[in-house]
């Protein structure tokens, strides 16, 4: 029952933090923000939860063996979008070839959203992997413990 106020506050803030991460993710092409910031915000919600409820609680929701898959999948989404534009006859990440007949640059919008999803996934997985590595390590014995 220790830190009851902290745990209640974390439970109240967890969903709004995730919602804000999604907002930054999907409105990043219109203003500041995007995949990198959204990935960090998304990971910060889970790191906050782990600080309040323990690392094991967070690792049950997002197991550590999923994180390398998330990192690789994020990079593959980014690269896949670039190679897709090359297969359509454009340059790497030349989004206009996705919908060339659009007068409102719809291909730009689609390409940027797909790339930012890949970046967000890779960054969130990387941040959580770093946190798991540091939070899960065993403390080194002090010199006076010998």
Mean per-residue pLDDT pooled into runs of 10, the chain (146 residues): 84 97 85 84 97 93 96 97 94 90 84 92 97 87 70
Three-class DSSP labels, the chain? CCCHHHHHHHHHHHHHHHHHHHHHHHCCCCCCCCHHHHHHHHHHHHHHHHHHHCHHHHHHHCCHHHHHHHHHHHHHHHHHHHHHHHHCCCCCCCHHHCCCCCCCCHHHHHHHHHHHHHHHHHHHHHHHHHHHHHHCCCCCCCHHHC
Q: Taking a C-beta distance cutoff of 8 angstroms, is the pair 134, 126 a contact?
A: no
The pLDDT of residue 66: 97
The pLDDT of residue 107: 85
Predicted model pTM? 0.87
The pLDDT of residue 139: 76
The pLDDT of residue 31: 65
């Amino acid at each position: 029952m220790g830190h009851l106020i902290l745990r209640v506050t974390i439970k109240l803030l967890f969903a709004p933090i995730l919602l804000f991460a999604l907002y930054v993710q999907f409105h990043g092409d219109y203003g500041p923000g995007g995949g990198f910031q959204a990935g960090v915000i998304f990971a910060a919600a889970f790191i906050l939860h782990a600080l309040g409820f323990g690392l094991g609680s967070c690792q049950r929701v997002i197991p550590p063996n999923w994180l390398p898959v998330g990192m690789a999948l994020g990079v593959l989404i980014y690269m896949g979008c670039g190679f897709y534009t090359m297969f359509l006859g454009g340059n790497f990440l030349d989004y206009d070839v996705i919908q060339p007949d659009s007068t409102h640059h719809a291909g730009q919008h689609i390409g940027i959203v797909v790339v930012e999803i890949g970046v967000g996934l890779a960054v969130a997985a990387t941040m959580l992997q770093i946190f798991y590595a540091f939070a899960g390590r065993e403390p080194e014995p002090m010199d006076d413990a010998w």
